[in-house]
Chain A
């Protein structure tokens, strides 16, 4: 699996560094999180990603690797203090984004091709408009309108795509889910006891 290959590790130095950093990690470490998630969205020709541990804590210095759908690694980087990492579109196709955070946490996100190709179509249209403009000077206004509309749409859609990413943010398990889990445990207990008691009565009380 190519995605396991991290950057080459300097073990000797790493240990010394660890000894120095250990107190810091005790304070701010999300080591006890249950799950990690990464989300990605497109703005212009840039892909933005945000990474969270369950409960909403940001992933700092997590390794983000970007693959195409065939599994070829395109680029990699690390999340900043806010858990964000952004990059220019390396190629116009669907992307497979893998986050490897500390202590065995890992998450994946697939960015569908529709989103980047939308941008492509946009720029193609602009080019077409530009040629049209060159041919017929009367269309200058139309071209300007188009540019303004796109700008406005971009600005309007930004909060929406952010909200969408926000909505997918992981939260801790809800009370309902926890109580549901407890129900399962006692349900399993009840089932086992039921079958045990039936067996006992079938075999008679001597057993």
Chain B
């Protein structure tokens, strides 16, 4: 899900950057600093998840886990994704620093949407609804990220159209996989550490 440097046009990069700055500011404002370790753990999870490739058939996929982050973090997903992606850009040249804003936006905004749309249901007591909501958060976050990436590429030049369409198709295996993982994670944490699911917002 990383867009390389030099692919996107300046207006797209600037818009992405500006929106990411805004999202990060909101996230930092909402952060309850006493729960910073939990935020750092989720940032580390996100950082590592996308580096470990899991073989699926002849190809391999990696997790992104922005849906999981969204359910736990809401707006705080922005600073968390920004830190992890900045490190990936600097250490591994994934994406690159100029595309950092757009890449962060593509992965963090779906997380925020998941938080508001599905967060309450996923935390709720109804087991079936909670399973469904967390699966949808995992799969939906990837779907929205794919759409975000596609639209970033589409704005850049019309010749990207067919390629952009493909992104959504290509990510279908990841959507299913992440949906299952998020559902399992949420159920597990609800049993073992229910307090982790309380949003880390300032009360």
- A34 in contact with B2 given A6-B159, A28-B59, A177-B91 (CB within 8 Å): yes
- In the complex, what residues of A have CB within 8 A of residue B6's CB? 106, 108
Name which residue of chain A comes closest to B42, CB basis. Answer: A185
- A180 in contact with B91 given A32-B62, A32-B170, A36-B4 (CB within 8 Å): yes
B158 at the interface (CB under 8 A from A): yes
Complex interface residues of chain A between 98 and 122 (CB less than 8 A to chain B): 100, 102-108
Complex interface residues of chain B between 41 and 87 (CB less than 8 A to chain A): 43-44, 47-48, 50-51, 53, 57-62, 83-84, 87
Total A-B Cβ pairs within 8 A: 137
B157 at the interface (CB under 8 A from A): yes
Complex interface residues of chain B between 159 and 180 (CB less than 8 A to chain A): 159, 161-167, 169-174
Name which residue of chain B comes closest to A178, CB basis. Answer: B51
**Distance in angstroms between the alpha carbons of A35 and B5 in the assembled complex:** 10
Q: Report yes or no: A35 in contact with B40, Cβ–Cβ below 8 A.
A: no
**Distance in angstroms between the alpha carbons of A34 and B158 in the assembled complex:** 23
A27 at the interface (CB under 8 A from B): yes
Q: Report yes or no: B87 in contact with A184, Cβ–Cβ below 8 A.
A: yes
**Distance in angstroms between the alpha carbons of A184 and B86 in the assembled complex:** 11
CB distance from B45 to the nearest CB of A (A): 10
Interface size on A, residues (CB 8 A): 47
- In the complex, what residues of B have CB within 8 A of residue A182's CB? 44, 47-48
Q: Report yes or no: B159 in contact with A27, Cβ–Cβ below 8 A.
A: no
A24-64 interface mask toward B, CB cutoff 8 Å, 1 = contact, 0 = none?
A: 01111111101110000000000000000011000000000
Pick the contact of A185: B43, B59, B162, B174 (CB < 8 A): B43
- In the complex, what residues of A have CB within 8 A of residue B152's CB? 104
Binding site for A on B (CB under 8 A): 1-8, 33, 36-37, 39-40, 43-44, 47-48, 50-51, 53, 57-62, 83-84, 87-88, 91-95, 149, 152-153, 156-159, 161-167, 169-174
Binding site for B on A (CB under 8 A): 4-7, 9, 11, 14-15, 17-18, 22, 25-32, 34-36, 54-55, 100, 102-108, 172-173, 177-178, 180-182, 184-186, 188-189, 192-193, 196
